[in-house]
Amino acid sequence: MTRRVSTILFQGDSITDAGRDRSGRQHNDAAAMGRGYAYLAMCRLLADSPARALAVYNRGISGNRVPDLRARWDADCVALQPDVLSILIGVNDLWHKMEGRSSGTVAEYESGFAELLEHTRRALPKARLVLCEPFALRCGAVTQRWFPEFDERRAVAARLAQRSGALFVPFQSVFDRALQAGSAPEYWAADGVHPTPQGHQLRADAWLAAVTPLLAEG
């Protein structure tokens, strides 16, 4: 019998954190979910499924890179035993490097991320993984210096999703389509990385479109 989804966990960096209250509040709490896409997605899920007793958590932490996730994974992920685990990570692995605060090649990013996913599969064999594509809009902090390395790191996320059997949410494509429709990049992410409220809504809609069919299976 398919395991019924009851616990959903959002993991990542500041884009997922979105100013959440980390003082100990638990699932389905507005302050603990932050002001971003994770909160918006939670609201929709809870409104649509009042009988399912969903427990939705946000454990994103601002500034995190792949090594930071790995260091706190057992406590902030495995211990929660999520049925669905959504991960968005990668922009800081390059951004901090651009600012001289860390180092690391694309290959090291891929190997570290792959090890994290392998550990997750061993620790949470029944969890359904969702990998979200790192994204960047060419404005604010995002300059030409970011490319082509950022695109290579996006490709890593897609490749690892396929390799690990995870669902992939193509956030960059979502923003690219919005820009092609004529809006400015600053409208969606003023600094090129952190979404505006409407940017978070765009991403929540994309996440729900990709993940809701997965939830319906359980």
Question: Over the stretch 10-31, which tens digit does the pLDDT of each residue have?
Answer: 999 999 999 999 987 789 999 9
Told to judge if 14 belongs to the known catalytic residues of this protein, a careful annotator would answer yes
> Which of the following is catalytic: 13, 83, 86, 194?
194
What residue ranges define each of the domains in the chain, with the CATH number in brackets? 7-217 (3.40.50.1110)
pLDDT of residue 60: 97
Give 169: exposed, middle or buried? Use CB within 10 Å, 0-12, 13-18, 19+.
buried
Told to judge if 191 belongs to the known catalytic residues of this protein, a careful annotator would answer yes
Told to judge if 194 belongs to the known catalytic residues of this protein, a careful annotator would answer yes
Are the CB atoms for 90 and 153 separated by under 8 Å? Answer: yes
pLDDT of residue 2: 44
Residues of the chain with pLDDT under 70: 1-5, 217-218
* Model pLDDT for residues 140-170, shown as the tens digit of each residue: 999 999 999 999 999 999 999 999 999 999 9
Half-sphere exposure of 12 (CA within 13 A, CB side): 31
Are the CB atoms for 161 and 170 separated by under 8 Å? Answer: no
> Which of the following is catalytic: 29, 76, 151, 191?
191
> Which of the following is catalytic: 14, 17, 93, 200?
14
